[in-house]
Structure 1
Amino acid sequence: MKTLFRILVFAFAGLIVFSCNKPAREEERQNVILFIGDGMGLAQLCAASGSVADALNIERCSHVGLMKTQSLDNYITDSAAGATAFSTGHKTRNSYLAVDSTGNPLKTILEFAEDADLSTGLVVTCAVTHATPAAFIAHQTGRENNEAIAADIVKTDVDVLIGGGRKYFETRSDGRNLIADLTSRGYTVPDSVWQIPSSLPGKLAWFRASGHMPGALNGRGEALAESVRLALNILSNNKKGFFLMVEGSQIDWACHSNDSLWLVKEVLDFDKAVGEGLKFAANSKNTTVIVLADHETGGVSLPAGDLKNHTVSIRFSAHDHTGIMVPVYAFGPGASLFTGIYDNTDVFHKMMHLLKLEK
């Protein structure tokens, strides 16, 4: 009996030593895909939903919250300050990009992700130097400084950059050719999708237009959804995780113009891109999708509609942004973090938590 007891003691001790010396399994990184429908309030979503027979992809998101949108110096935010709240967790002045109220740079979530060896990407339907994408990658006190923003972009290590704005890199007032700079830094800079190798050797900067991309009514096709699919194929090669921001940029412009048809087409186009993100997230099991707006534009209401014919009457009360809260939709691990009512700066902290990034 004593011999059996000694054997059991030594065996248990051996198990303790083995378990203590066994290498810890590296914690799997999360991926975050942030979809920003610029100017997309609840009424804009309802207008698009009421115009089609099938449910929107966004409706698959299991958790919904409400977000306050005010900037540091104005009840009505602009896209620069709104995106800066998402990208840095700080409020700033309207027109400022990832800088505080005195112009000091604020580190963005994209930069935190790069420092942690995560892959990063930006996909938009405007110029990549426009306010929303710029707030994730540039540091400027003027959102209109497109050439300075382009120079900031070249200094970063963003892995995937897709949108318009080639002219701000190529035909510049200072004579610099930033396309050549990108190429020298290992970027593939194609003129068309056919020039993108199936196995990309490095990073991708695809300028799909000289300025902004065409609108959804003017021949853009499904470029946004296709670009999201391409970006996800590239970024998912990094097993440490990735952060991707996607913007449906022209929803805002349609609302500024009080153009009902354009508005609906842009939201439906954006929803197709969201569908690509949700499909990826459903298959990956470690990806969180967040869908929100930086603000509402146009003061949209829906005074009438026809359920049988899938038509809605859209009424605008403004040509500019409004200060109402906007909905936030989330899908995947940690989606419950995005329920409730919170400030736009809280989105940054929630995403940092999901990506396991530290300030």
Structure 2
Amino acid sequence: MKNISKILTILSFVFLFACQQKENEPKKPKNIILLVSDGTGLSQISSAYFFKEEEPNYSRFENIGFIKTSSSQEDVTDSAAGATAFASGIKTYNGAVGVDADSTSVPTIVELVQDRKIRTGVVATSSIQHATPAAFYGHEVSRRFYENLTEDLYNSDIDYFAGGGLRFFTKRKDSVDLTKKLEEKGFYINTKELVGVDQMNGKSKAGFLLAETAMPKMQEDRGDFLPNATQLGIDFLNNEKGFFLMVEGSQIDWGGHANDASYAIAELIDFDNVIGKALDFAKKDGNTLVIVTSDHETGGFTLSAKKKKREDGTEYSDYSEVDVTFSTGGHSATLIPVFAYGPGSEEFKGIYENNEIFHKIMKVTGWNSKK
């Protein structure tokens, strides 16, 4: 009897230890929402605190890090190389989409998770074939091969996309209408407007192409397309296996290139509203990791004191009023912030290379392990 009692006591300790160890294991996120604000550095983010009427959603993050953005051959990256780092975990040359520095194709996160039945989607305010969204489904030696990238999208297993770029589907050199081909493949396709999930005729895949090239600017009454397309993507993709959704605020970058502060800030505020949608879902869901970052900074955007003139014509800086200045019409090599919320978010603290975003996602989800 004493031996049996000892055995039961040992088994009890083993069971309790195993339970405690399991409780201490970090929770794995089921869903990943990656939000990319193209061309956005710390100063652009700071502008939301001066120009947005409500408290920016950036304030809701506790785990924050920084990435180094140089591409494989250049100190200053472009969007194609930057997005390929996020999508495939490798450094490549500027202009490359889903290919390595030697121009060989590399698998994207969208492709790597398909065998796990993880549903995937991309959203952008550019054409859907533009560098950042294309890096998650395409493989081309040049980001300018828009018609080829459209074919890559058709041939991919992506479940949801929304943005511009209709002309590369319907006005092609080969005269093939790829919207019709996608419908034959089982897609719900809409070229007029976003609709609810219940209006998609029970389709398991959906694409929204709402502009011939890029979507309109916020200043041209684009409205809530980006927040709404993000929410629709979440609703459409959400399932018991999990999903991966990449959303790009594309035109913050374009405002930076144009040295147009009003353009860039309006797009940044729109993107901050997207962050709110993602965080609201993640908070309620409890199994979703939200990551917010950018491929690079554009424009050398600076929040400076407003320059004014005295009565005698001399100039001075009025520290009571913020103005925006630019130092370049191109990209810069500044460190880029990374904000993370949800299970696994602690992994994104620190300073690291941009391609580590991919590896950290695969690590915290367990998507890099054998099934």
Structure-2-length-normalised TM-score: 0.87
1:314 equivalenced with 2:324 (yes/no): yes
- Give the corresponding residue for 2:343: 333
User: 1:186-197 maps to which residues of 2 (within 5 A)?
Assistant: 186-190=186-190, 191-194=192-195, 197=198
The AA in structure 2 aligned to 1:225 is: P
Provide the rounded CA distance (Å) in 2 between the counterparts of 1:325 and 1:313.
22
- Give the corresponding residue for 2:366: 356
SS in 1 for 2:113: helix
1:88 equivalenced with 2:88 (yes/no): yes
1:347 equivalenced with 2:357 (yes/no): yes
Contact persistence 2:124–2:248 (CA under 8 A)? yes
- Give the corresponding residue for 1:231: 233
Provide the rounded CA distance (Å) in 2 between the counterparts of 1:56 and 1:7.
62
Identical aligned pairs, as a percentage?
38
Q: Deviations over 1:293-315 (max 9, x none)?
A: 1000001111126xxxx963001
- Give the corresponding residue for 1:140: 140
Which blocks of at least 5 consecutive residues in structure 1 are unaligned? 16-26
Q: 1:10 to 1:264 in 2, by over 3 A?
A: closer
Provide the rounded CA distance (Å) in 2 between the counterparts of 1:214 and 1:114.
32
Structure-1-length-normalised TM-score: 0.90
Stretch deviating more after TM superposition (111-120 or 82-91): 111-120
SS in 1 for 2:267: helix
Q: CA deviation at 1:7?
A: 10
Provide the rounded CA distance (Å) in 1 between the counterparts of 2:127 and 2:197.
20
Contact persistence 2:28–2:343 (CA under 8 A)? no
Q: CA deviation at 1:353?
A: 1.4
Provide the rounded CA distance (Å) in 2 between the counterparts of 1:11 and 1:32.
43
Contact persistence 2:28–2:365 (CA under 8 A)? no
User: 1:157-236 maps to which residues of 2 (within 5 A)?
Assistant: 157-190=157-190, 191-194=192-195, 197-198=198-199, 200-236=202-238
Stretch deviating more after TM superposition (68-77 or 169-178): 169-178
List, as ranges, runs of 4+ consecutive aligned residues in structure 1 with deviation greater than 2 Å: 5-12, 191-201
Q: CA deviation at 1:175?
A: 1.1
Q: Deviations over 1:97-144 (max 9, x none)?
A: 010122111001111121221010101100000000011100000101
The AA in structure 1 aligned to 2:346 is: S
The AA in structure 2 aligned to 1:133 is: P
- Give the corresponding residue for 2:23: none
The AA in structure 1 aligned to 2:139 is: H
Q: Deviations over 1:162-193 (max 9, x none)?
A: 00001111110011111111101110001323
- Give the corresponding residue for 1:298: 299
Contact persistence 1:62–1:330 (CA under 8 A)? yes
1:242 equivalenced with 2:243 (yes/no): yes
SS in 2 for 1:189: strand
Which blocks of at least 5 consecutive residues in structure 2 are unaligned? 13-26, 307-319
Q: CA deviation at 1:9?
A: 10
Q: Deviations over 1:222-281 (max 9, x none)?
A: 110000010000111x21111100000000000000001111100000000111000000
The AA in structure 2 aligned to 1:357 is: W
Provide the rounded CA distance (Å) in 2 between the counterparts of 1:228 and 1:311.
34
Provide the rounded CA distance (Å) in 1 between the counterparts of 2:61 and 2:148.
37
Contact persistence 2:52–2:269 (CA under 8 A)? no
Contact persistence 2:36–2:295 (CA under 8 A)? yes
The AA in structure 1 aligned to 2:224 is: E
Q: CA deviation at 1:145?
A: 0.5
Q: CA RMSD in A?
A: 2.6
Q: How many residues align structurally?
A: 345
The AA in structure 2 aligned to 1:135 is: A
Q: CA deviation at 1:47?
A: 1.4
